Structure 1
Amino acid sequence: MPESKINAGLLSFDALVDGPPDGDLVILLHGFPESSRQWAAHVVALAEAGFRAVAFDQRGYSPGARPAAVTAYRMPHLVQDVLDVADALGADRFHLVGHDWGGSVAWCTAFANPKRVVTLTSFSTPHPRAFADAVREGAQPVPGYHRTFAPEGAEAMLRDNLAWIRGSLGSAVPADHAREYLGRLSRPEALRAALSWFAAKDPADVAIGAVEVPSLLLWSDGDPVVRRHTAELTAKWVTGPYQFVALEGIGHWISEEAPEPTAQLMTEHIRRYG
Structure 2
Amino acid sequence: MKDNIGMCALCKEENVELRESHIIPKLAYKRIKAFQNSRFRNFYDINSIYQDGEKKPLLCSNCELFFSKYETHFANNYLDKFLEGNRKLPKLYDKIDIYIFSVAWRILYDDLFILNSFDGEYARKVFEEFEKKLLCYLEELRIGSSPTSPQCIKNYIFTIRDLGFINEVAEFLEPSLFGYSFHSGDQSKYIVFSHYAGIIIATVYRPANVIILGRKLSEYILDRYTSQTVKKLLNEEIIYQVNKMIEQQPINEKVLEAGLREKIKNRYKLDKKMNRGK
Report if TM-score (shorter chain) is over 0.5.
no
Structure showing greater radius of gyration is 2
What TM-score comes out, normalization by structure 2 length? Answer: 0.29
